[in-house]
Amino acid sequence: MVWIWSLIVLGIVVGATGQGQGTDTTGSTTTGQSPKTDTSGAPTTAASERTPETTTVDPYTALDKTITDELENILTRYERECMGNSEFTRNLDLIRKAVKMDKSRLLDKIEARTEFNKYNEQRILIERQIDERIEALNNILPTQEPNSYCSEFYLKQREDLRKAKSLSNLEKLNTLLINKAICTIRDNYDDNDYLY
């Protein structure tokens, strides 16, 4: 009884793996099917009928596909963020051009990705610093007397920083540096205080 189950399991395994071909005593291949012939009338074997199950991809082609996919992901991710920022738009346009390049220009694609990543890291860092300064101003403003010089000073800083997000990275950095200043004018000075 055990040997019957062994044969059944063996048949299932052999059938599933496609290794059910054997040779009979005459040396011909047996597959359980009638032999097929090609256009010349010669019999074909099952091995010649098969197409390769896996194809090997040239590593250069695979790398090109990976880089192109990364570039397309950059476009998808940042397409809406670039609105109103001409420098950001220019950098994304370079990525668009790189996506259209063929695999012979793989180095140009890699360079475009690297340059965009450098630009984008700098942009994100500066915008994070701008957001932190805006948050600090939001905390300072409630402590100021309404319509005072310092209150207006900080409101103008906050507005300038909000507008800066559509500027180039260099202009953002300059705006950030200018708007880190602290109001040093005292609004409520005493008339008896004289500067000598």
Predicted confidence (pLDDT) at residue 55 exceeds the cutoff of 80: no
pLDDT number for residue 194 = 46
Mean pLDDT over all residues of the chain? 79
DSSP per-residue string spanning 149-184: HHHHHHHHHHHHHHHGGGS-HHHHHHHHHHTT----
Most trustworthy range by pLDDT among 46-50, 100-104, 125-129: 125-129
Rounded mean pLDDT of 143-172?
A: 94
pLDDT of res. 11: 57
User: Residue 138 is encoded by which pair of tokens?
Assistant: 């939001």
The string of pLDDT tens digits covering residues 69-108 is 999 999 999 988 888 899 999 999 999 999 999 989 999 9
Domain boundaries, the chain: 59-178
The pLDDT of residue 37: 52
Cβ within 8 Å of residue 32, ≥6 positions away: 20
Hey, is 36 helix, strand or coil? strand
The H or E element that residue 34 is part of is none
Question: pTM here?
Answer: 0.62
What is the per-residue pLDDT for 28? 46
Using pLDDT thresholds of 50, 70 and 90, give the confidence band for residue 168: very high
